[in-house]
Every structure is written in C-alpha cells, then in structure tokens.
Structure 1
C-alpha cells in the first residue's frame, strides 16, 4: 500500500507539502492542514506501515528500511516544487528521505522543514524501555492523551507502534559522511520543548549549502498543534527561507 496519503490534490499544484509524522503518529495528524493553505498547494502526509489504513502491515523498525521506500514513492510522483516537513522522528525520516532523493538527481525538492528535533544524536545508547517507560516518555511530550493508556484495548493497540518507532529513532544515527543538502533547511521549535532548544536546532545549518532559517513558537514539543496554520504557511512560503 502507498506511503503517501493526499489530503488535498489539486489538478495543477503550484507546490507540494509532504508531512512526516512523529513517533507513534499517523498521516491523519495533518488531515486538517489543507484548510490553512491556498487551494493550489497539494498536501500529502506519509503513512507509515502498521497504523490506520496500513494496520495489517508489519511495522518497519529501521531508518534504512523506511526512508528508501518513501523516497521511491516521492520520486514517482509528478515533479512539482516540493517541501518536506517532519515533526520529531518525522524530521529525521524526512531528512534521510531527502538525502536519497537528491542522490537520485531530483532537484524539485526545495526545502526541508525540521520540527521538534535537534541534529545531534543522544550522547549514549538509549536503555531498553519498559511499557511504563514508553508511556511516560510519550505523555511527557503532550502528544497522546492519557486516556489512551488507561484503556487496555487501546494500550495493547498503540504500544507496539510506539515501541517500534522509539526503537527506530533511538538506534538511528546520521552518517558523518552524508553529503550536504542542496535544498534549504528551516527549523521549527517550541520554546518550552523539553527535548530540543532553539539553540540545538541551529545545528541543522551544517547539513545544507542552501538557505537556512529558524523559527521559535510558544509551546512545548507539540507546539505545532495550536500553531498549525502559521507552521503550514511558513513551510510553503517561498519568501520565508
């Protein structure tokens, strides 16, 4: 099944916005974003296996298995100016996908928007996470309501997805010899994010030979929920980077 869900697909799009969800997230997280944008903007979200319409498919536990498949589908889409936007884990998936897209010679991917994630890896390998560790980590960020974890059926449904995604991002390391991106990079950060500061986000300037800009919003790790309209417009605004 396709990795790409089109939340809006105009006949002749001026620009395409491709959104990559966070750990445990799904394509529906970006379902309402078209209403914030001009009708000429195509809005696409990445649908990872093992959730929503791909619930019956096996989860993908490594970045090297996930990003090439997404890149392949994006390469097959009609070439229009395209912005990739990833939040948290999705920022790393978007970056790795863009590396592969540029290596394939694609030049219509104009910008990478990195939300809620720093460039530097953890200083040490993450310890194994118990179920309670995972739930505590997710709820501390504010993205998943506590009632999900209090319902035994929902808990059983979502825990394998969370565990898979946290393992993927815990084990992911950016290659030190990765080539610089030609596309511009924009960072987006909440001023109270417990995992990445606006200063941390500045490190992303090292990965591109293109334009670099950064934006800070009021809020925590999921600042982009109340600021969705501003984030979406910034992402596709050709004058903002």
Structure 2
C-alpha cells in the first residue's frame, strides 16, 4: 500500500512509513504545524509524527479561519480516519489539548479509540471559567500573549511577526472561549497531562481534574514554567511520550 503523504491538514516533517504507531500533534492558539518540526528527532524512530496545520495560517493563510471547535474537530477527524490502519496517539497543547480531547471522543465513538492521549497547557474540559481575551484590542491581546509566554520569549520573540499572526491568534482564542464541554462517556485510553507550575491558565486542581475523563491509566507530569513550559522541557516531553507508546512499539 502506498504511504499517504502530507496533505493540507497533515505535515510529515520526517516521514516514517514503517513506524508501528503515529502521533498526531495539534498546535496551540495561533500556532502552526511547524511548532512540532523538531519533535520527530527526539522520539523513537518507531513513532511517526503527523503535525496538523489549521486553516488560515502559513501555506493555508488564504483559507478562512475555522469558527468553532466542532468544525475543527470534524476537519481533523476526517483526515485521521483513513490513517487508523495502525495505532494513532494524540498530543495537543492549549487549544490543541481541547481539540485532541474532542478528536479522541469522536474517534472512540466510531470504534477507533486512540492508542493514547497526551495533553498540556489546558485545564480539564469539565473545568470551565469565563475568558474574553479574543475581544481585546491588538495591544491588549499582545499584552495577554506576553503574559502567557512569561520570561521565555522563544515562542513570541518577534513582535512584527507576532502582529502578522494576531488574526489567527484572535480567531483561535474565540474558539477556545466559546467552547462548551458536553458531558459524555469517558475515554478508554491512557491519558497523560503535562502542566506548568506557573501557568496562569491551569491550576493544579484543574490539571488533576483530567483524571475523570478516562477509565484507563492517568498520569500528571508537573514541570517548571508558565503556559509555554514545554519549550524548556522538550526532551522530557519526548521521554514521557515514548514511554507511553512503548506497548505499541513492542507489537511489531
């Protein structure tokens, strides 16, 4: 069978056509697939990374932004269903964490439960609080973004570029802030949650609340840093993900 190549939605920065498991990576608000370009080199060569590219950014900048998490979920699920010939794991940060959770629920509902779910930088779906950042003016939105990046400016180092992507960030914030969790059956896959001790968007209790969203194993990994703590802990992230996927690597 011919191995699928990159599509509008999916990027393969290091294709591994014989890998026994695929890891689907979902970016944060305003983020793009290239955020995960370096991850494949840190993981086991038996894991193929598929990075999702949302509409309205980079080579998809001519497309309209997605207006809801439901719409984004449907788009991703449609892309992933043909790839369920082997185990699929999901990893998402912030907006990507919410999306990964909803994609996991949709896949489970049609008999393709993910091999594992890894989320970071987001409180449990059942723990909601009011947010209105998408309604801020550009300067206010920039201040909020700087607050999220904390003392680590690697994610948002260039203000000129940052202003260029503000429309995508605002659109994604709107998706996040309009999301409403619909109660349903818990997942039946292992769930690992990463959280930063100084993340203003996620308290320790809100991170722990993810435990109630799966009937399988649960692990909470707490690391130093704010909302983008993963930029300083990429090796640890890769280590935990590889360990979580080990049972599927051993099936060859």
State the TM-score, normalizing by the size of structure 2: 0.86
- Equivalent of 1:126, from 122, 132, 143? 132
1:185-200 correspondence runs (5 A): 185-200=191-206
Q: Distance in 1 between matches of 2:61 and 2:194?
A: 30
Shift of 1:155: 5.2
Shift of 1:49: 0.5
In the alignment, is residue 3 of structure 1 matched against residue 9 of structure 2? Answer: yes
Shift of 1:132: 2.0
- Equivalent of 1:162, from 155, 161, 169? 169
Residue 102 of structure 1 aligns to a residue in which SS?
helix
In the alignment, is residue 69 of structure 1 matched against residue 50 of structure 2? Answer: no
Residue 191 of structure 2 aligns to a residue in which SS?
strand
Change (3 A) 1:125 1:27: closer
Range moving further from structure 2, 77-86 or 167-176: 77-86
- Deviation string, structure 1 residues 138-190 (Cα, Å, up to 9, x no partner): 11111643532xx3xx45521211110010000001102x2211112111011
Residue 50 of structure 2: aligned partner: 44
C-alpha contact (below 8 Å) 2:116/2:244 kept by paired residues? no
- Deviation string, structure 1 residues 77-123 (Cα, Å, up to 9, x no partner): 1522222111011100111111111111114x111111011014543
Residue 138 of structure 1: aligned partner: 145
- Equivalent of 2:179, from 172, 177, 183? 172
C-alpha contact (below 8 Å) 1:139/1:146 kept by paired residues? no
Range moving further from structure 2, 123-132 or 97-106: 123-132
Q: Distance in 2 between matches of 1:157 and 1:145?
A: 12
Q: Distance in 2 between matches of 1:88 and 1:123?
A: 15
- Equivalent of 2:117, from 109, 112, 115? 112
Q: Distance in 1 between matches of 2:174 and 2:180?
A: 12
Q: Distance in 2 between matches of 1:35 and 1:125?
A: 36
C-alpha contact (below 8 Å) 1:13/1:80 kept by paired residues? no
Residue 69 of structure 1 aligns to a residue in which SS?
helix
Change (3 A) 1:206 1:26: same
Change (3 A) 1:52 1:217: same
Q: Distance in 1 between matches of 2:195 and 2:246?
A: 15
Aligned length: 235
Aligned-CA RMSD value:
2.0
Residue 229 of structure 2 aligns to a residue in which SS?
coil
Q: Distance in 1 between matches of 2:136 and 2:212?
A: 31
Q: Distance in 2 between matches of 1:147 and 1:14?
A: 38
Q: Distance in 2 between matches of 1:86 and 1:155?
A: 21
C-alpha contact (below 8 Å) 1:83/1:235 kept by paired residues? no
Residue 3 of structure 2: aligned partner: none
Residue 174 of structure 2 aligns to a residue in which SS?
helix
Q: Distance in 2 between matches of 1:165 and 1:133?
A: 16
Residue 83 of structure 1 aligns to a residue in which SS?
strand
